[in-house]
Amino acid sequence: MTTTGELRVIPLHVHGEVRRGDSIVEKLLASAESQGLELVGGDILVVTHKIVSKAEGAVVRLDQVRPSTSSRRWAKRYALDARVVELGLSQARRVVRRKGGVLITETQHGFVCANSGVDVSNVDGGMSAVLLPRDPDRSAASLHREIKRRLGISVPVIIADTFGRPWREGLTEVAVGVAGMQVFRDFRTQRDQHGYRLKATLESVADELACAAGLVCGKLSGTPAAIVGGFSYTPGRGRAKQLIRPAKRDLFR
């Protein structure tokens, strides 16, 4: 039984590796079919960035990276891989903090995260690193279009990555690419049940959807995507770029 207003988050398993040039949509739809699922109108597809990066070839062999003396020193001091540090710096347009082995950067897209999102897990056992997609909003738009072409329906797509945050321990998922829906739910001009005008309530539903999907997308289990059903999103041209606070309005950069 589906209860009114119920949200459903369904993991999509993918067998085998995603390789450069693969169609992620084809793989995910095949996977859904084999699980007896189908994407329907109203669904949202959340995809972890890693398979998008892999399909786009945003993967770097670590033996091709020549770390600078400074990266080598820093890496040695904190028992890190100098090549991964070098890659992180190469993907940054600015270092936000660098302390105690933690490197927080602003990526070329504007995201603030650890080591520019460069990641060695779930790739090939430590030989290569995955970068963030070059333009994740564009990647999301491309997946969105491909679903429309194949199924004839408009399914919003969210590309998610796992970021840390200040003040709180533990990582959570965030949206790094979005297509087909608004990223915010905007209560700012509405009134609550008591007639009080809501002030600062701009809810980042794209990030919350990424988190909901993160609960079912294991880091270990070959589950790089999820279908979210039952969320009444607002269709539109939302982009994850809107989630980036401009540096000049940010109190913590």
Among 9, 130, 157, 179, binds a second copy (CB under 8 A): 9
Among 46, 51, 85, 123, binds a second copy (CB under 8 A): 123
CA distance 205 to 148: 22
Burial letters for 144-155: b for 16+ Cβ neighbours within 10 Å, e otherwise? bebbeeeeeeeb
Based on the shown chain and the rule CB under 8 A, indicate whether residue 11 belongs to the binding site for a second copy: yes
**Residue 100 burial class via C-beta count within 10 angstroms: exposed 0-12, middle 13-18, buried 19 and up:** exposed
- 41-100 residues in contact with a second copy (CB under 8 A) are 97, 99
Site map (CB under 8 A) of a second copy, residues 164-193, x = contact: xxxxxxxxxxx--------xx--x--xxxx
Q: Quick one: which segment of 23-31, 66-74, 136-144, 162-170 binds a second copy (CB under 8 A)?
A: 162-170
- 188-207 residues in contact with a second copy (CB under 8 A) are 190-196, 198-207
Residues 6+ apart with CB under 8 A from 136: 49, 52, 109, 159, 176, 177, 240
**Closest approach of a second copy to the CB of residue 173, in Å:** 7
CA distance 28 to 23: 9
Q: Quick one: which segment of 19-27, 68-76, 124-132, 148-156 binds a second copy (CB under 8 A)?
A: 124-132
- 213-252 residues in contact with a second copy (CB under 8 A) are 214-216, 219-220, 222-223, 231, 242-245, 250-252
Backbone angles phi, psi at 45, to 5 degrees: -105, 120
Q: Quick one: which segment of 20-28, 61-69, 85-93, 109-117 binds a second copy (CB under 8 A)?
A: 109-117
Backbone angles phi, psi at 252, to 5 degrees: -125, 30
